[in-house]
Structure 1
Amino acid sequence: MKQKTFTKIFTDEKLPFLELRYSNNTKHYKEHIHETFSIGINLEDKSIYTNKDKKYDFDVGMIALVNPNEIHSCNPILETPNLYYMMFLDEKWCYGIQKSICDESNSFKAFPKDILYDEKLYNEFKDLCETIFSDINYFEKENELINFFTELFRPFLKESTSKIDDPIFEKSIEYLKENYKENISLEELSKEFELNPFYIIRLFKSKINMTPHAYLLNIKINKAKEFLKKGLSIVNTALECGFTDQSHFHRNFLKIVATTPREYQLNFI
């Protein structure tokens, strides 16, 4: 029986720098280029990955990386469809992430390898792709993208070690504390303080080693713990802390407190 093929593409106007393809097909591509930085994995079966003048037997567990304007192709070896994720990222966005790591960067630095053999990174990228296709809000998706690509680019950049002394940090902290019920995006924060969003990432990383979104999430969870101790219902606690729904609240509470909201509240009843 012939296996059904499909292609699903994720885009979001709130994440304009990103396109993600989830596909299962037998199509063969001619060598081509993208203006984006591209990264992909196979979930099933093998393919032949070519990048410039090199060819690789590309298998499950490997990560393919393609710098902007590099000629490449990736085609299945067998006649059966191979299942894969392929992500395309705007070069300027990637440069912003690199700049947040290394202040000396003045343009996008090409990734030094065509292929990676890294089980941990492979699984993290797979999880990231599943997260992007999930129904969680775009703030969380953006945060996961920032975290993953910071870790991907960091090893081959000269990381800035100097601490940034900027009074805007304390003001932005107060702003997040005052507006913890809101889901404040990186773009909104950058507009509020008239700063480059990637400078804000670097500022927060330099001061507290987390992204602004991760910090805001911690404020929300700490507020939630206060409400739960006072006996507020889990539903109302989630609403008071600005979570979009109960599952969103439950997932993030468990992630940070290592117990469910209900289990936590039972300690105080």
Structure 2
Amino acid sequence: MEVIRNLGDKAGLEFSHTRSDIISIDFHLHDAYEIYYLISGDVNYFVENKIYELKQGDVIITNKYEIHKPSFKSNKTYERAFIQFDDAIPVMYGSGAFDLLQCFNGRRKGERNKIEFDAVRRQEFLELMEKLEHTGKNKNPADAILRNTYFVQLLVLLNRAFLSSSVDAVEQKGISARLFPILDHINENLQGDLSLESIEQQFFINRHYLTRLFKKNTGMNLHQYVIYKRLARSKELLARGLSVTEACYSSGFNDYSNFYRLFKRIIGTAPGEYKKRNAY
């Protein structure tokens, strides 16, 4: 993978621009908001239980509770830029009249993740991304201030596009129609039995066929997907103030030790520490 730019700072803002051949990518579940911009590649993008078919120049936004990943349909070179950030800058510059995180938090998970721009706004977006990349290369205080202002302008642009459209640009091309009710079932029954045997009986589908179908269409096995969904749910519950034990069992885990180990490995911190930093 060629890392063209990887620029981060202490203000909770990181800009990355990378190019690579096709690689295997698991679902992401990180403690940050993300703006993803596809420069080149033949990509379907999964967010929660939804699939977006992308073309060059498309933008995907995700919040810190949405699992997401790209899936590749051909060997075309994959190039993308993305911004990961916490809520420090949006909260500092936002107001009660205009919430800079509206497009990230003001919708249901897995819905309206694809931002549609008209020609004028798309050009504005590209110019702001270029300015963010340029100012991120310099470490002097003046460029840091400029970078923050460009980032705030980018958030305003995203929110205006989001608020001007209520349509969810979800595509199902190239994805087996048999998977969509199964994905919905998983999303609605995280506390229930989501074993292959249970899904096989619920949907009258052979478990071995389901395993191959899920892997072919998502690039990930079904068990991993369920784990990431349950971890995302546990993050939400911890942020709401539930105890670690309550978050564990309420998100569908039956074994506390396994939950703790998976949370620390995938999220990067212990669930108790996550709660201290994020509970509101």
TM-score by length of 1: 0.48
Higher RCO (CA-CA < 8 Å; seq separation 6+)? 2
TM-score (norm 2): 0.47
User: Larger Cα Rg: Structure 1 or Structure 2?
Assistant: 1
